């Protein structure tokens, strides 16, 4: 089977490419290396260094004729979307549209999209199901939500199958301390530099932190399941910033000094995803709790002396 992975030089896309190769797929990565790295692309995958908005990217897809397109390439930084909404919409909306056109023209069977819990915005409920109204609070959430709508209408008009996966806060090896929800990567980066990590507010705010290998497993399951579905991919568990630091202290075997800063304005206090639909439809479940995921991330990121 031939698959295309846009954003395959990035954090999540590179893990997905590895898993697809291990499953025996011919993997073609489309990435302009704007936030990803050539070194992330696993050996055995073909890197096509081009922009998802370009005619060249469409030509690549026309030539390789993938059965499934995993569309992960994105402008994935919330703050950047607020600073430069035009660029954000260009990459996330136009880029997705260009990849949908390419999929249709190449006769691809399926489009699997990396969406985000940011499409929900500030939901009053602590546990967010797919039925919650999507009211994004950032241009990033809005551009992802808009891309989702393009995918649905493409499917209705052209019969292209899809699965939209709305990820929680993903963490794991190779994540850089920028982009969406990268607090684990930020903390590890501070530890590497021997700078105390900063905790905003009391650190008891919680999120649904999901390990990258669980995200990959959901994507692999979506190869054959989840037709025309929009699914939350999270653990369904709440992990606080203080919990993360406690787990990092366990890995380190020593206390971690921290700085305190005021709570961020507009920060949601508690949020976690309801993953029950993904469990049922994809026959998938998260296999890593925060302790296991943080331990693996720590071991692969920091030398044992730190
Ligand atoms: P990343 O920045 O590591 O990966 C994105 C990749 O896309 C990079 O390799 C980058 O070079 C590439 N890219 C960006 N713009 C491009 C363009 N115009 N043309 C071609 N390639 C381009 O980010 P990530 O954390 O791996 O995120 C992957 C996907 O998952 C994104 O769609 C993101 O929105 C989504 N997501 C991530 C998280 C998270 O917590 N990391 C949570 C929810 C959703």
CA distance 7 to 20: 14
Which pLDDT score, from 0 to 100, does residue 287 have? 98
Contact of 230 with 192, CB cutoff 8 Å? no
Count CA atoms closer than 13 A to 292's CA, side-chain side.
Answer: 10
Does any ligand 1 atom lie closer than 6 A to the CB of residue 36?
Answer: yes
Which residue's entry shows tokens 């019969």? 159
Q: Per the residue annotation, which of 70, 120, 140, 154 is the catalytic one? A: 140
Which pLDDT score, from 0 to 100, does residue 302 have? 76
Nearest CA to 211 out of 114, 289, 285 is that of 289
> Do 10 and 141 fall within a single domain?
yes
CA distance 272 to 174: 24
> Mean per-residue pLDDT for 114-119?
96
Q: Write the CA distances from 138 to 27, 101, 220, integer angstroms.
A: 33, 26, 29
Domain contains 179: yes
Which pLDDT score, from 0 to 100, does residue 180 have? 59
Gap from CA of 6 to ligand 1 centroid (Å) = 9
Alpha helices in the chain (DSSP H): 11-22, 55-64, 78-83, 85-89, 95-106, 139-158, 183-192, 212-221, 241-252, 276-282, 290-301
Nearest CA to 225 out of 282, 164, 268 is that of 282
Does any ligand 1 atom lie closer than 6 A to the CB of residue 206?
Answer: no
Domain contains 38: yes
Higher-confidence residue of 265 and 232: namely 232
Greatest mean pLDDT range, 114-123, 265-274, 296-305: 114-123
Gap from CA of 29 to ligand 1 centroid (Å) = 13
In the predicted model, is pLDDT for residue 305 greater than 80?
no
Gap from CA of 75 to ligand 1 centroid (Å) = 6
The alpha carbon dihedral of 130, 136, 138, 144 has a sign of positive
> Do 184 and 194 fall within a single domain?
yes
Could you tell me the residue range of the domain that residue 87 belongs to?
2-170+209-233
Contact of 234 with 275, CB cutoff 8 Å? yes
Q: Is 140 a catalytic residue?
A: yes
What total number of domains does the chain contain? 2
> Do 214 and 248 fall within a single domain?
no
Domain contains 281: no
Does any ligand 1 atom lie closer than 6 A to the CB of residue 8?
Answer: no
> Do 166 and 247 fall within a single domain?
no
Q: What percent of the chain has pLDDT over 70?
A: 97
Does any ligand 1 atom lie closer than 6 A to the CB of residue 12?
Answer: yes
Q: What is the CATH number of the domain that holds 177?
A: 3.90.25.10
Which pLDDT score, from 0 to 100, does residue 125 have? 83
Domain contains 44: yes
Average pLDDT of the chain? 95
Which pTM value belongs to this model?
Answer: 0.97
Does any ligand 1 atom lie closer than 6 A to the CB of residue 116?
Answer: yes
200-253 per-position pLDDT tens digit: 999 999 999 999 999 999 999 999 999 999 999 999 999 999 999 999 999 999
Which pLDDT score, from 0 to 100, does residue 306 have? 54
**How far is the first Cα of the chain from the last one, in angstroms, to the nearest whole number?**
43
Which pLDDT score, from 0 to 100, does residue 177 have? 87
* Residues 6 or more apart in contact with residue 296 via CB below 8 angstroms: 172, 173, 211, 288
Nearest CA to 160 out of 210, 215, 212, 227 is that of 227
Counting from 1 in the atom list of ligand 1, the atom nearest the Cα of 95 is: 18
Does any ligand 1 atom lie closer than 6 A to the CB of residue 51?
Answer: yes
Domain contains 306: no
Question: Among 12, 87, 222, which is best to mutate for testing ligand 1, by the most ligand atoms less than 8 A from CB?
Answer: 12
Q: What is the CATH number of the domain that holds 222?
A: 3.40.50.720
């Amino acid at each position: 089977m031939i698959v295309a992975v846009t954003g395959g030089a990035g954090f999540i896309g590179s893990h997905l490419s590895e898993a697809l190769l291990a499953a025996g797929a011919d993997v073609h990565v489309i990435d302009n290396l704007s936030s990803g790295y050539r070194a992330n692309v696993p050996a055995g995958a073909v890197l096509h260094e081009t922009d998802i908005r370009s005619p060249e990217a469409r030509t690549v897809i026309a030539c390789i004729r993938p059965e499934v397109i995993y569309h992960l390439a994105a402008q994935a930084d919330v703050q950047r979307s607020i600073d430069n909404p035009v660029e954000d919409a260009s990459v996330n909306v136009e880029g997705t549209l260009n990849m949908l056109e390419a999929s249709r023209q190449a006769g691809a069977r399926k489009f699997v999209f990396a969406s985000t819990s940011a499409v929900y915005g500030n939901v009053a409920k602590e546990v967010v199901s797919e039925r919650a109204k999507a009211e994004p609070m950032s241009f990033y959430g809005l551009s992802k939500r808009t891309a989702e709508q393009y995918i649905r209408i493409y499917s209705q008009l052209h019969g292209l199958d899809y699965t939209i996966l709305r990820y929680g806060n993903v963490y794991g090896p190779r994540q850089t301390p920028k982009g969406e929800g990268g607090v684990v990567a930020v903390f590890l980066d501070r530890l590497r530099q021997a700078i105390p990590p900063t905790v905003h507010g009391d650190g008891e705010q919680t999120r649904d932190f999901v390990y990258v290998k669980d995200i990959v497993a959901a994507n692999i399951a979506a190869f054959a399941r989840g037709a025309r579905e929009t699914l939350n991919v999270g653990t369904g568990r709440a992990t606080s910033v203080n919990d993360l630091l406690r787990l990092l202290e366990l890995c380190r075997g020593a206390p971690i000094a921290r700085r305190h800063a005021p709570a961020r304005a507009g920060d949601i206090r508690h949020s976690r995803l309801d993953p029950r639909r993904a469990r049922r439809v994809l026959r998938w479940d998260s296999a890593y709790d925060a302790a296991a995921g943080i331990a693996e991330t720590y071991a692969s990121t920091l030398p044992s002396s730190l």
